[in-house]
Chains A and B, each alone.
Chain A
Amino acid sequence: MINPFHKGILFGSIISALGTVFIIVTIFVLITAYTTAVDTQKYIANHLEELLDTVESTAGVACFVEDKQLASELAAGLLKNEGIASVVVKAANKELARASRPGLNETDLADNAYPITRIVKSPFSKDQVIGEIEIQQDLNAVHRQVTKKVYFTVSLLAAQLVIVATAIVLILYYIVVRPIRRLSGNLRKINPAAGEKLQLPEGHEGNEIAGLADDINKLTETLVNALSNEKELRVQREVDEKKFRSIFENASSGIFISDAEGRILSFNRSFVKLTHFPAHELSQAPKLANIAWRRRGRLDELINVCIKDQADQSFDMALNVDPPIWLNVALVAIGENRVQGVISDVTQNKLSEATAMHLAVTDKLTGLSNRLGLEHYLPDVIRKNLGAPLVMLMVDIKGFRHLNESMGLPAGDQMLKIVATKLLSCLKKTDWLGRLGGDDFVIVLQGEAGRVIAENVALRISDVLAKPVEINGSSIVSGCSIGISCYPADGVDLHGLLRSAEFALNYAKSAGKNDIQFFVPEMVAAAEQRHKLESELGHAVKNGELRLYYQPIVDLNAGRIVGAEALVRWQHPERGLVPPDDFIPIAEESDLICDLGLWVVETACQQLALWHAAGRNLYLSINVSVRQIPDALPASLLKETIARYGIPASSVALEITEGVMLSDIEKGINWIKELRNEGFRIYMDDFGTGYSSLSYLKRFPINVVKIDKSFIRDMNEETNDRVLVKAITAMSQALGLEVVAEGIENEGQIALLKEIGCRYGQGYYYSKPVPVTDFERLEQRGLEFIVPA
């Protein structure tokens, strides 16, 4: 497009140049006119003053004598000067001459009234004024002169400026306008989309025009690129949209978009399928409420929450169909009061979840509830019963560990199953039974579960479980201990009740107590006491608070002390002498028994060494706990100890109980064999109680059998016991084992034992366990106490 000339740079430049010229000329003309006028006037004034100077003396003479002719001559002479319009010469009181330029009329003179007056003084006295000369300037003449000068200056300036302006315009045209026009023409011809570049007019390489052409080329390139990118993006977007559309349509999840009122704005095929959307509702304005939810209105609520809080929602909802279908609905607010929902079928998950939940709370072995089940059940039942009383029974199978150890885990498992069945037979339908682990069964009685009912149930259980059970062809007699806690008195939650029941159970389990115990707060104190004792016992070994007491073992025939059973006693710094029943079980339950056992061995050997040095040929029997066998009391240690004290192995006897047979039999046998090889003697303690089995006597290579005091106690009267003692003695002798009778209290027993053939014995009849000094005194007194048969 060609610009109209009046909008072009050239026109603008010309106008600007001319305007500038005009303004400059005007200013210069004004300045010139002014200065010229001022200069000219000054010049004329000076000139006139000089003229007057030259005629001064003549004027003085003329005035002195008032000579008119002389004055006229003078005036005429002055008038010859251009710039003087008229001359008047005056004496003191009369006019001597008047002359004016011809051609000037009176008004001109009046208008140009710029008189110059020169006072004329007497030629003979400088003080005496005798007249004056008055000259009128001809201002027209001044103006003429000024005008002429101004004309000249203006013409000169104007000529210069016109030349400069023309030059500027020409330069502008060739340097700026023409290249721009050419550039513009080139620009119209090119096609940037085809990659054509704007050509630079010749002769402008490297200047601003070239820069402009470059910039235009870069700009067109950028624009062309942007356009092509835009086009690609549009194509990509269309492809993407189709893709997304296809994904949306074919998604296995149901997808919908709805507004806050639950009107469905958009949905896919799966949505219809999953929600069993009624087909007749699809045609006109379908709503989410048309779906057959089990809980109607719930979805609308959640949509409102989602929109209000801008928070994603995810929840499971069931359809009111059979079998039930569970759908997970995930809502996302997408603005403008709309939500996008994704629906997926979670029925399988729900079923798996339920199964898993059931499995989680069930004990696999017995099919009863487990601990987790109790954790779910009890708080629930407390809540439902609004705090009505409950009773918790904790049942522990006696000897279950021994059963497990001796007969193997499958036997134990079978036992547990049987116990579970038996327990169920004792309970009502409303009662709850679970196994918390191991042989810990828990029963919760609800309803009118008072102490009496609880006790009845406990007694029934106790009776039922006391009956022999047949496992793997063996008849097993067990029994149980039961701890009972009551809600809310003994605990307000599961933890509290379990804890109380456990206290009661532990109390029941401790030796010599009733098998059924209700929880009482004192049990806590007792347990604490026990705990305290346990920690003190640990110190006792180190602090040397333990003492060895000695109960003599007597050769019944010879009536002579042959040795002693070393029994540990605890000299408590505050409590005094603590009975072994109070602390041995505690030690047995912890590892303290091992330390304690070592101390006993050490002390006994030390004592033996002293006795042997004094020529007393005694032996000591030391009680060994099951827990010490075999690792806590290895043969090597015993060997090292006797070597240190220089005593023979035969002077040390180790008393084990039948419990050894119930634990790892092989290890026990090996331990015994090793000791036997070293020359130590092994006593079987408390024979006749527990799981005594004659076959064990054969398998265990022991030296001596100690008949339990319960048989001895009543052997005077009870023929059965006497027969038993006799049988044991006979059998032992047949197996080559010595026999020691425990708990001898009177001479009758001694006589009987001797008769039976039992050679050794111990008991209160001879002496209770006593400190070493007392024992030594007894030993020295010899048979003083022993009444000969």
Chain B
Amino acid sequence: MLRNLFIAIFILAVSASSLLAEDMVVVVNPKNGVNKLTREEVIDIFLGRNRQLSTGLTALPLDLPGVSLEREAFYLRLTGKSMSEINAYWARLIFSGRASPPTQVRSQEESMQMVIDNRSAIGYLERSKISSQVKVVFELGAK
């Protein structure tokens, strides 16, 4: 019974995020040189494992505000993990200082702007929020 309830909640949550953010895309500055990123490359960058890009630049990941639906949708679609899990992950690492979480921005617009401004920056947005000044390197479609 409990298990069925969890499954129901999970489906609801996924559906909600899907509804809220139909398509999420990872974008970079067109001058960055990177045209395409794999899911693994995206995970390594955002979860602090490896931020060295193929062009030699060190990527600067940008994170949307902690409680935003977009952020939750992004990580869920990218890693299959909930927000609390991602937070717990970072909690363990922060203590040792070996890896650091992405830079926090306040909104999608700010993230957009920082990508436009910074060649190393890399952010994630709803598809409807992007402009031609950024380059999409990875897409996370609604499921």
Contact = CB atoms under 8 A, between A and B. Distances in A.
A124 B43 contact: yes
Contacts, number: 37
Given A61-B89, A67-B93, A70-B92, A124 B47 contact: yes
B31 to A, nearest CB: 29
A570 B80 CA distance: 171
Contacts of B40: 125, 128
B99 interface: yes
A66 B92 CA distance: 13
Contacts of B96: 67, 69-70
Contact of B98 (A65, A123, A125, A128): A65
Most buried by B among A65, A66, A123, A128: A65
Contacts of B98: 65-70
Given A65-B98, A124-B79, A70 B47 contact: no
Contacts of A66: 49, 98
A340 to B, nearest CB: 124
A58 B92 CA distance: 8
Interface string B105-124: 00000000000000000000
Contact of A123 (B89, B95, B97): B89
B72 to A, nearest CB: 16
B65 interface: no
Interface in B28-79: 40, 43, 47-49, 79
A432 interface: no
A400 interface: no
Contacts of A68: 98
Interface residues of B, number: 16
A567 to B, nearest CB: 167
A65 B40 CA distance: 13
A37 B80 CA distance: 45
Contacts of A64: 47, 49
Contacts of B99: 65, 67
Contacts of A65: 47-49, 93, 98-99
Question: Which of A67, A70, A123, A124 has most B Cβ within 10 Å?
Answer: A124
A148 to B, nearest CB: 39
Contacts of B48: 65
Nearest to A60: B89
B81 interface: yes
A61 B49 CA distance: 10
Contact of B93 (A61, A124, A125): A61
A433 to B, nearest CB: 161
Contacts of B97: 69
A313 to B, nearest CB: 128
A348 B92 CA distance: 157
B80 A124 contact: yes
23 contacts: A61-B89, A61-B93, A64-B47, A64-B49, A65-B47, A65-B93, A65-B99, A66-B98, A67-B93, A67-B98, A68-B98, A69-B96, A69-B97, A69-B98, A70-B92, A70-B96, A70-B98, A123-B89, A124-B47, A124-B79, A124-B80, A125-B40, A128-B40
Interface of A: 58, 61, 64-70, 123-125, 128
Q: Which 10 A-B pairs have the closest CB atoms?
A: A69-B96, A67-B98, A124-B79, A65-B99, A67-B96, A70-B96, A61-B92, A65-B49, A124-B43, A65-B48
